[in-house]
Amino acid sequence: MSKRILTAVTSLCLAFVAICVGPAVADEEETVKAFSSWQGRGQIFETGPNRMTFVGAFSGMIYIETQKGPLDAGYMVCPAYVDVNVTDGTQEAKGRCTISAKDGARVYADLSCKGVHMVGCEGEFKFTGGTDRFEGITGGGPVTVRSALQDLAASGGNTVQESASGIIYWPKLTYKLKPAAQ
181 inside domain? no
Q: Name the band, by pLDDT with cuts 50, 70 and 90, for residue 54.
A: confident
In a domain, 24, yes or no: yes
Closest CA to 145 of 38, 56, 14: 38
What range does the domain containing 36 cover?
Answer: 3-176
Residue 17 has pLDDT above 70, yes or no: no
Examine residue 151 and state whether it is found in any structural domain, yes or no: yes
Total tally of structural domains belonging to the chain: 1
**What is the maximum span of the chain, computed from C-alpha positions, in angstroms?**
61
**Residue 133 within a domain:** yes
182 in any annotated domain? no
The per-residue pLDDT for 58 is 93
Instruction: Evaluate the CA torsion angle 118, 64, 76, 142 in order and state its sign.
Output: negative
CA distance 70 to 15: 13
Chain mean pLDDT for the chain: 80
Question: pLDDT of 71-83, one tens digit each?
Answer: 888 999 999 998 8
Tell me how far apart the alpha carbons of residues 165 and 38 are, in angstroms, rounded to a whole number.
Answer: 6
Q: In this predicted model, what pLDDT tens digit does every residue of 87-103 receive, in sequence order? A: 898 899 999 999 998 88
